[in-house]
């Protein structure tokens, strides 16, 4: 398979593929990553350079399209304040647990740099630890 994206078709007359633009890094439950939205703290399930996935057990916390202002993201030893995001996904993988996808909006240059730096550290850590059992093509004997 040459195209590694998943395609979703709309139910209308037009169908267009949905292609992710950024690599997402899964966040372990014991990782030092959390977000505060309206002074309520949430666990982060994954992070990318364009947004995050968060976990909630309360369906009334968010709805699709909600604009989230003054968010604070704490990653490792870094805190990024004043973030604005929009809820673009909502789904459930386990009973009683909801996941929401948040897209960052109008990032300041300093916020973008801080997010990029932390994201690259997390991505490198995962690849270095080989948390997904990635096989190095050079080690495969033919």
Mean per-residue pLDDT for 3-10?
A: 40
Looking at every residue in the chain, the average pLDDT score rounds to 77
Q: What pLDDT shows up at residue 78? A: 84
CATH topology of domain 25-127: Thrombin, subunit H (2.40.10)
pLDDT higher at 64 or 128: 64
**More confident position, 139 or 32:** 32
Share of the chain above pLDDT 90, in %: 37
Q: Which residue has the higher pLDDT, 71 or 21?
A: 71
The partner residues of 70 in beta bridges, in order of sequence, read none
Least confident of 57-61, 62-66, 83-87: 57-61
Q: Delimit the domains of the chain by residue range.
A: 25-127
Residue at token pair 């309360």: 58
User: What average pLDDT does the segment 120-140 reach?
Assistant: 61
In our burial notation (b when 16+ CB lie closer than 10 A, e otherwise), range 11-41 reads: eeeeeeeeeeeeebbebeeebebebbbeeee
User: What pLDDT sits at residue 42?
Assistant: 93
pLDDT at 95 over 60: yes
pLDDT at 124: 79
Radius of gyration of the chain (CA): 17
């Amino acid at each position: 398979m040459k195209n590694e994206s998943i395609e979703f078709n709309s139910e209308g007359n037009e169908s267009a593929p949905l292609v992710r633009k950024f690599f997402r890094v899964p966040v372990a439950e014991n990782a030092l990553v959390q977000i505060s939205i309206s002074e309520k703290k949430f666990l982060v399930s994954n992070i990318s350079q364009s947004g995050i996935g968060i976990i909630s057990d309360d369906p009334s916390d968010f709805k699709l399209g909600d604009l989230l202002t003054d968010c604070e993201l704490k990653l490792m030893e870094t805190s990024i304040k004043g973030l604005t995001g929009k809820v673009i996904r909502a789904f459930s993988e386990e009973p009683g647990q909801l996941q929401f996808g948040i897209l960052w909006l109008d990032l300041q240059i300093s916020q973008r740099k801080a997010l990029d730096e932390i994201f690259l550290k997390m991505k490198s850590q995962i690849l270095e630890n080989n948390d997904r059992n990635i096989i190095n093509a050079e080690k495969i004997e033919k």
